[in-house]
Amino acid sequence: MKPSLSLALDADERACAGHPRTVVSLLLRAAYNAAMQPAGSTVEYKIRDLPRLETPRLVLRALSLGDVDDIFAYASDSEVTRYTIFERHLSSKTTIEWLRSVVDMYRDGHPGPWGMELRSSRRLIGACGFRNWETQHGRAEMGYTVTRAYWNQGYATEAVRVLIDFGFEHMNLNRIEARAVPANIGSTRVMEKAGMKFEGVLRQSEFFKGAYQDLVIYSILRHDPRR
């Protein structure tokens, strides 16, 4: 299975009470500055160690093979995967293969996904991250997936806000994009609540679920207001 992030397709999320500002761990700055290393040019970088990020209710951390059960719980759910690029996992073997590809991404310095872990229970409830990171243009695409039992509780919005902060402050991004199938209203609401702006519809932009799919595209720029 291709180790893409194909995660920008989540279900309905409500904003956190009081819209708490997501907070990057104080340990992140020094750790990430040390982790970012040039890879042969002035515009290419590799992430040697995926840094840990923290929000009021979540810890965003590197995934491991020990997360297979929690990931299979949402990746095998037909409702969660209804609008995702990746196909529903029919067995945990598929999940293990995907996790192995993610671990390889970490090892090779590619920006793999973060697991979304509840601070209160340490349970993994989803994943989020960047794909299509174009360092020359300061642009990347963001995605996220959340276990169905945790929909409508603001977790995706909380994770997206900290990813936006991280992308602008530590990845030298100028533009962050997110895309979703037009019918996936829950995902577009997350983008809007995070301050992203609707730009239009990419007609038949990608092929998945047996058909060419239209995708709505949202973006936020470095100088745009953040929520």
How confident is the model at residue 44, as a pLDDT?
A: 38
Angle (CA) 56 58 59, round 5°: 115
How confident is the model at residue 112, as a pLDDT?
A: 85
pLDDT along the chain (227 residues), means of 10: 34 33 35 36 52 95 96 96 94 96 88 93 96 93 95 96 94 96 95 96 95 97 90
* Tokens at 211, concatenated: 């058909």
Q: What is the CATH number of domain 26-178?
A: 3.40.630.30
Angstrom distances, CA of residue 28 to CA of 25, 37, 170, 222 = 5, 15, 10, 20
State the first-to-last Cα distance of the chain, in angstroms, to the nearest integer.
Answer: 35
Whether pTM > 0.85 for this model: the answer is no
Contacts 24+ apart (CB under 8 A), 106-111: 106/47, 106/49, 106/50, 106/62, 108/46, 109/37, 109/39, 109/46, 109/47, 109/48, 110/46, 110/47, 111/47, 111/50, 111/140
How confident is the model at residue 227, as a pLDDT?
A: 77
How confident is the model at residue 155, as a pLDDT?
A: 97
E strand or H helix that includes residue 179: strand 175-180
CA dihedral 150, 151, 152, 154 (to 10 degrees): 70
Starting at the edge strand found earlier in the chain, the sheet holding 139-146 runs: 53-54, 58-62, 114-118, 124-134, 139-146, 175-180, 211-221, 197-208
Closest by CA position to 6, among listed 88, 78, 79, 64:
88
Tallying the residues shown for the chain, one arrives at 227
Residues 207, 85: Cα–Cα separation, whole Å? 8
Reported as half-sphere exposure (CB side, CA atoms, 13 A), residue 48 has a value of 9
How confident is the model at residue 7, as a pLDDT?
A: 38
| DSSP designation for 84 | -
